[in-house]
Amino acid sequence: MSDSIRATWVRPAGVLTFPRLPPVLARNLPWLVLILLSITFAEFLTGSTFVLLPLLNPLSAVFLVGLYGAGVLLIREAKVRWQTGWPTVLLLGAAYGIAEEGLGTKTFFGPAGVGHLAVYGHWIGVNWVWAAELATFHAIFSIALPIAVIALLFPDTEGRSFLPRRRALGFVLATFVVTVAAMFVLFNRTEIPSVGLVVASVAAIAVLIVVARRAPRGLGNLGVGRAAAPSVLGPFSLGAAFVWGFFALSWIGPALLPVPAVAAVAILAWCVGFGVHLARHREEYGRPAARLDFVLGSLTFSLVLASIYTVFGDFGAPLAVAGVLLLGLRLRAHLRDPMGAARPRDTIESAAAT
């Protein structure tokens, strides 16, 4: 390959070794990976969407990118532009969950696809237990975890806008709004909520956005104090305990708890409790390796679930599982031994200069 041709292919900056890519793709790789992680964590690893479906049905891919891709880009952009932190991300993630499940698929209101939770906990037109589960699920798995991984995978992008131009931001926002509106019209057509419920959903989203805008910069600024001793559980074990407990409360809790309100509050309390624990022990999670271990622990349930779905015909699930494991383990090895993994690499800027 001649020098002139080689100069047109660069390695994207990151903590791992990436293949040489065309400059345009290399520059945009971080936000492309962010979109892929959001879809993978929320859809592919949970069996909500079979991994091969977007290849067989391009319209499915359009909805996934318009929903998850635009949503996670907008929330990360808000975090960067507002110079806030994880409280903002989680609050906006909950707003995203209302937009997707309340206004888009409408599962917050109708029985379609919700199973016994359409009866258990259904009050004044809302599936409250399901709403508590899905709002927190999307806040964590669709939004927060992918953003956390990108910050670890591409540390140079931390605090840097992926949508610096107003036109790009407007396009992504319009894509998200149009996608949700199209889902409202096309999905679950028999489950049309009342005007009051639609207005209430929009109002809840607006309130969460306002609160997120005013939220403190970090979990440590929530007024829960500092920890006097390190956490009993390591980051990986803590992440695993969180996710297995979360799904136990969401899936088994309704069968054991006769009062739906107790089940809904238990789900929310479980998530808030772990957030408080992370805030109190935030010094431990200042290390990138510890943050990654918590993320990997939080994905253990989904990885097991995706493996099980292979038996039920999701033959692409092993690819998603293998991809996440390979990425996580390679990133973990680098973060634990950065000097051993260090190597000269071409950054996008230096390549462009040549």
C-alpha to C-alpha distance for 329 and 217, rounded to whole angstroms: 30
Q: How many residues does the chain have?
A: 354
Cβ-based neighbour number of residue 224 at 10 Å: 15
Number of domains in the chain: 1
SS3 category, 123: strand
Q: Which two tokens stand for residue 222?
A: 């929530």
Residues 6+ apart with CB under 8 A from 174: none
Does the residue 1 lie in any domain? no
What does the block give as tokens for 6? Answer: 């080689």
Domain encompassing residue 191 = 20-219+229-353
CA distance 326 to 10: 22
> Which tokens is 93 given?
């993630």
CA distance 244 to 259: 22
pLDDT of residue 227: 53
Residue 141 in tokens: 């798995």
At residue 225, the pLDDT reads: 55
User: Residue 145: inside a domain, yes or no?
Assistant: yes
Integer-rounded Cα Rg, in Å, for the chain is: 21
Tell me which residue of 140, 167, 4 sits closest to 72, measured CA to CA: 140
In a domain, 2, yes or no: no
Q: Please check whether residue 87 is in contact with residue 211, taking contact to mean a CB–CB distance below 8 angstroms.
A: no
Nearest residue to 39 via CA among 12, 15, 75, 70:
70
Burial zone of 353 (CB within 10 Å; 0-12 exposed, 13-18 middle, 19+ buried):
exposed
Residue type, 123: W
From CA 102, how far away is CA 202, in angstroms rounded?
9
Of the candidates 49, 72, 74, which has an alpha carbon nearest to the alpha carbon of residue 60?
Answer: 49
Neighbours of 108 (CB within 10 A): 25
Domain contains 332: yes
The neighbouring-strand residues paired with 123 are: 126
In a domain, 274, yes or no: yes
In tens digits, what is the pLDDT along the chain, a chain of 354 residues?
A: 444 444 456 667 777 767 777 888 888 899 999 999 999 999 999 999 999 999 899 999 999 999 999 999 999 999 999 999 999 999 999 999 999 999 999 999 987 778 888 889 999 999 999 999 999 999 999 999 999 999 999 999 999 999 999 999 999 999 999 999 999 999 988 888 999 999 999 999 999 999 999 988 766 666 665 555 566 788 999 999 999 999 999 999 998 989 999 999 999 999 999 988 888 877 777 789 999 999 999 999 999 999 999 888 888 999 999 999 999 999 998 887 665 444 444 433 433 333
Structure letter (DSSP) for residue 122: E
Identity (one letter) of the amino acid at 119? V
Do the domain assignments include residue 311? yes
How many whole angstroms separate alpha carbon 164 and alpha carbon 257? 48
Predicted TM-score of the model (pTM): 0.90
* Domain assignment of residue 68, yes or no: yes
Q: How far apart are the first and last CA of the chain?
A: 16
Task: Give 173's contacts (C-beta < 8 A, 6+ positions apart).
Answer: 70, 74
Domain assignment present for residue 298? The answer is yes
pLDDT attached to residue 226: 57
